[in-house]
Amino acid sequence: MTLLRVDNLKKYFKKIKAVDGISFEVKKGEIFGLLGPNGAGKSTTISMISTLFKPTSGDIFFKGRSIFENPIEIRKNLGIVPQEIALYPTLSGYENLRFWGNAYGLRGKKLKIRIEEVSEIIGIKDRLKDKVEKYSGGMKRRINIGAALLHKPELLIMDEPTVGIDPQSRKHILDTVLSLNKKGMTVIYTSHYMEEVEYLCNRISIMDKGKIIATGTKDELINIVNGQKVINLKFDKISKELIRKIKDINYISQIEVLDDEIILTTVNENTIFKDIIDKVSETDSNILSIDVKKTNLESVFLHLTGKALRD
């Protein structure tokens, strides 16, 4: 069953096409990933789904009804975890949760019980009395999520929820998302961290420059690359001559040059290493490391856009 349908959605800010005609569907009970680099248009899309922005054109349907004609329906069923820590730092964790519970119409005993449940889910029960400003980055992120869960939303949107936190908190958040999904919650998860989206999402849309360049399950997306390998070469220095020589090698479909790295996409893994070593030896650069990457969404993104996801 389709819970949310985005139909040819556009959002232009004067001359900037932040979102440029995207369409996708989110099915009930799935974790849907929006993957793309910073500035791809993910947050603008989320803002429109959250009814914060009206689109320039196009529409979004929640349970078959336009959210712009009936914003109340989606708002009461939507939990939003913004990229920013949208909390009051000088209030305690408990006071923040109580305020956001009030915002969703929860009060009294019902609210108290939900605060207990949510604080259990996000794992900050022991620190609820402390001011949020005293929390670590990971704890702030967790309570940011907790504030979106109080009213038991049908659809949870998480916009880059793990930015700038330690690995332990990240793991906790990812496990929380999986646990919530298991209990039936539909999740839209946006990130520029490829491995998070791979780990969590049933289906993924890859966004770049306001457009969706591919949609499918992880396997479907990887199949796009069709046997290609991504090789990451690290050099002591990269000269124009080196780039020219590398480009001359056969069977290279993509080449991406970073500061001290060259990322190649190739279908011929067998002879490519000999060719690379031969070509590099003709220049004054030295190879520091060679890393053959398993085909993943990064490879897909590189294949589709000609640039790395982390740019």
Residues that bind another protein (CB under 8 A): 11, 13, 47, 50-55, 68, 71-72, 75-76, 78, 80, 82, 84, 86-88, 90-91, 95, 99-100, 102-105, 131, 147
Residue for token pair 């009294």: 108
For residues 52 and 292, which CB has a smaller minimum distance to another protein in the complex?
Answer: 52
- Give the Cα separation of 265 and 233 in Å (integer): 11
Give the distance from CA 182 to its chain's centroid: 20
Instruction: Compute the least distance from the CB of residue 243 to another protein, in Å.
Output: 42
- CB nearer to another protein: pick between 42 and 203: 42
Distance CA 234, CA 136 (A): 35
Residues 34, 53 contacting (CB under 8 angstroms): no
Instruction: Give the nearer residue to another protein in terms of CB position, either 77 or 253.
Output: 77
- Smallest distance from the beta carbon of 223 to another protein, in angstroms? 37
Smallest distance, another protein to C-beta of residue 72, A? 6
Q: For residue 148, count CB atoms less than 10 angstroms from its CB and return exposed for 0-12, middle for 13-18, buried for 19 or more.
A: buried
Nearer to another protein, 100 or 235 (CB): 100
| Cβ at position 105, least distance to another protein in Å | 7
Tracing tokens 């306001």 back to the chain, one arrives at 210
Check if the beta carbon of residue 165 is closer than 8 Å to that of residue 120: no
Nearer to another protein, 84 or 195 (CB): 84
What is the CB neighbour count within 10 angstroms for residue 102?
A: 12
Q: How far is the CB of 4 from another protein (least distance, A)?
A: 15
* DSSP for residue 50: T
Q: Compute the least distance from the CB of residue 52 to another protein, in Å.
A: 5
Q: Which is nearer to another protein, 92 or 266 (CB)?
A: 92
Measure the CA–CA gap between 145 and 118, rounded to whole angstroms. Answer: 9
